[in-house]
Amino acid sequence: LAKTTQPISMDSYEGQEVNITCSHNNIATNDYITWYQQFPSQGPRFIIQGYKTKVTNEVASLFIPADRKSSTLSLPRVSLSDTAVYYCLVGDGDNFNKFYFGSGTKLNVKP
């Protein structure tokens, strides 16, 4: 079964860049890596998705090394409103449509 590993929590200050890494050793060849953000009592919200190398959108960047066994979500210049739990999502290497969320990383942004 695909497993992902993320740091349980991270602290940052407003205006800093935050990098959250996810390990996913059993990623399948055609699986994409997706990151979500979740606030309390809300469903996760899509942040960014990628397959390899680097992807950037208006809110984040995603770095994926050549072996694809890990990925790093980069949040530039975080603000207090970025305090949330961040999950990486990859497919199950054995079952394409059986998705596993990582344990999530609780990001605390301080003023």
Partner 1 sequence: KAGVTQTPRYLIKTRGQQVTLSCSPISGHRSVSWYQQTPGQGLQFLFEYFSETQRNKGNFPGRFSGRQFSNSRSEMNVSTLELGDSALYLCASSTSEWNYGYTFGSGTRLTVV
* Dihedral angle computed from the Cα positions of residues 103, 19, 28 and 58, in that order, rounded to the nearest 10 degrees: 110
Kindly report the number of other CB atoms within 10 A of residue 96's CB atom. Answer: 11
10 is a contact residue toward partner 1 (CB under 8 A) = no
Write out the H or E segment, with its range, that includes residue 62: strand 61-64
**Which residue from 10, 21, 103, 106 is in contact with partner 1, where contact means CB under 8 A?**
103
98 is a contact residue toward partner 1 (CB under 8 A) = yes
The closest of 109, 59, 54, 62 to 88, measured between CA atoms, is 62
Total interface residues for partner 1 by CB under 8 A: 24
The closest of 109, 104, 103, 88 to 31, measured between CA atoms, is 88
With respect to partner 1, which residue has the nearer C-beta, 63 or 101? 101
**Which residue from 104, 105, 107, 109 is in contact with partner 1, where contact means CB under 8 A?**
104
What binding mask, one character per residue, do residues 29-68 give for partner 1 by CB under 8 A, x or -?
-xxx-x-x----xxxxxx--x-------------------
Binding site for partner 1 (CB under 8 A): 30-32, 34, 36, 41-46, 49, 87, 89, 91, 95-101, 103-104
